[in-house]
Amino acid sequence: MSLAWRFVCALLTGLAGVALASSVAAEELLVGVDRPLAAMVDAGSEVARGPRGTAVLRISDDDSGSARVAWASRPGVRWIASNPEMRRQAVQDPGSEPLRHRQWHLDHIRVDDAWSFTMGDPDVIVAVVDSGLDLDHPDRPEHLIIGPSFAGVPFGDRAGHGTHVAGLIAAPPNRVGVVGVAPNVTVLVLKTDDADGVIRVFDVYRAILYAVDHGAAIVNLSLGLAADNPALGEAISYARERNVLVVAAGGNNHASGDAPIFPAAYPGVLAVGAATGDMVRAAYSRVGDDIALLAPGGANDGGERSGLTGPLPGARFGSIAGTSAAAPIAAGVAALALSTDRRQSAEAVRDRLIRSARDIGEPGRDRDTGAGLLDAGLAVRDAARSFPMRAAIRDLSCPSPAYAGTIARAEARIVNIGGNTWAATPGAAIRLSAIGDSAPFQVFGEWRGGTIVGDVATVPVLPGSSAFPRFLVRFPDSPGDYVARFGLVGPSGRVPGGEFSCTLRVLPVPHWVADDPRVEGPTRARAGTIGWHVIRFRNAGIETWRRDGARPLRLAPVAPRGRASVLFHPAWWHGPSRVTVPREEVISPGETATFDVLVRYPLVPELVDEAFGLVMEQVTWFDVIARLQVDVRP
């Protein structure tokens, strides 16, 4: 029987499962030897030579049988095989659907839970052995390595399959179209089909070895062969022996008898079947003892969840269904798990994905669904347990530039990406601490003392959850550029990954400047009633503020400046655009001005959000504002 490579995928117009029997380049013989090839190959018979003593030989049809026998009898020959091929149809585009809400498969594997810990490490390389890549696609992977074309044609992707697979793994979150499972990992693209879509074993063999030798941690093979082939088996063994995880499509041939598909059927390969949007095995997906788990692949029924949406050549987007699409989803999750703990072996990553899969078939592992449905959240969370205490700084807002001696607020979002919950009880809480010389940045009365700024959170922070510390920073007295460094400290010491820094540009102090605005008073009120609020500003300039005289200090509505306020009280305010003067007669630099504000709440219920600022009459308006927010109810 002739053998055939095939991409194990499906189009929305029908499975791309071309018959397992297909045309074979019978005149080409693939050999692997342990001796120098030059002494074993007849002149003119060699077509191509590969790594590890492999070559493609041209043999006439009449001599193919005798040639096999002759080569098999030679010492040093590891194996002899045909070099099968098939022609694959191009991917069809059902329409442009570049929207995240079309990516139902990400929700089914709970990828948002995994992304709380990591979106991938650029140092983790996933090799895509496929039809190439549209290098001009706006949604191609951000971290990309372009490898060789092993098919003897220029790099590109006429078929579109490789572009789609690479996008399912690592399309970036750039608001262009879709997002991959592991958008921050690096994709190594290796082209193995020629201008006619023909894929040969020898080219895939060379691509796998190239990927392993050039740093790939994971190799995705969305393709299959209907029978064992020694060249392919040797390539898989080469990867496994060098701690590289091979992820392969399980096969779309359930209707034709579930014959084993290689490389999925080789030991140690993560063989991936396809699940539908209803989280059951797709009708086409092969069953077998080698199927490790299912990943979303679509039902291929023409419905809303018929396939997986991803990029296609020409800046387009379309859907593919099949185990060919399920495999890169699993490869992406494997990359996320490995990014979480780089110390894992390939076998450990494979076992982690299997162990964390959700059982959706018969209890326990079964031939239909393997271990169950891939679960990115559980797999990554399980990997994070290897690091009980670990943090990641996701968002940071540093108040810069600012004037010398002023006080400003910094904010951060810090994610617990370790395995333990951050306690909030005294003595066990995770605290924010200054690192190095913190004296210039301390805010006395606000920081806990010494280098300790304060607790990160007032409630426990579970793994995968975030804390949002807000803290005050004092800008040094001398102008210049400063770096304030901070980190998280737990009962056992510093929390890995919890360090960050703020670059502070300190400007010379102008004559008139205010900072540290504060508002006190009710946050809810009845419509038409009277309320009392207190607003404070600190004098951060070098001039003294005065309540009376030629340049009196006033509190006024702002945004825009000088406007009438909805909170205007005619009996107490100085006017619709001026509120009042401070309690204090004199406010020296560093001291605080206090304003007592009597207001009349609107007659109609609304959420009041009024901005107030300072004006030094006849001199200047101050830039800083205080926001008075009140929920006015009937």
Which residues carry out catalysis?
130, 161, 324
Kind plus residue range of the DSSP H or E element containing 446 = none
Distances, alpha carbon 3 to alpha carbons 81, 223, 227, in Å = 11, 13, 7
Q: Phi/psi at 332 (nearest 5 deg)?
A: -65, -40
Question: Which of the 8 DSSP states describes residue 62?
Answer: G
Q: Phi/psi at 350 (nearest 5 deg)?
A: -60, -45
Which residues neighbour 504 within 8 Å (Cβ) at sequence distance 6 or greater?
A: 398, 399, 400, 401, 402, 441, 473, 475, 476, 481, 482, 483, 484
Distance CA 532, CA 521 (A): 6
Please, are residues 305 and 295 in contact by the beta-carbon 8 Å criterion?
Answer: no
CB atoms within 10 A of CB 465: 15
Q: Phi/psi at 278 (nearest 5 deg)?
A: -90, 5
Which residues neighbour 141 within 8 Å (Cβ) at sequence distance 6 or greater?
A: 166, 167, 169, 170, 171, 172, 180, 183, 186, 187
Please, are residues 103 and 127 in contact by the beta-carbon 8 Å criterion?
Answer: no
Residue type, 482: Y
Question: Which of the 8 DSSP states describes residue 112?
Answer: H
Distance CA 455, CA 470 (A): 10
CB atoms within 10 A of CB 96: 13
Beta bridge partners of 410: 471
CB atoms within 10 A of CB 103: 23
Burial 303-322 (b: 16+ CB within 10 A, else e): eebbbbbbbbbeebbbbbbb
Residue 560: asked if its preceding bond is cis (omega within 30°), the reply is yes
Please, are residues 219 and 246 in contact by the beta-carbon 8 Å criterion?
Answer: yes
CA trace torsion 439, 443, 449, 450 (10° rounding): -10
The HSE-up count of residue 354 (CA atoms within 13 Å, CB side) is 20
Distance CA 341, CA 74 (A): 47
Please, are residues 28 and 231 in contact by the beta-carbon 8 Å criterion?
Answer: no
Q: Phi/psi at 472 (nearest 5 deg)?
A: -95, 145
Residue at token pair 């009438």? 564
Distance CA 331, CA 271 (A): 11
Token pair for residue 471? 């803290």
Kind plus residue range of the DSSP H or E element containing 272 = strand 270-275
Residue type, 226: A
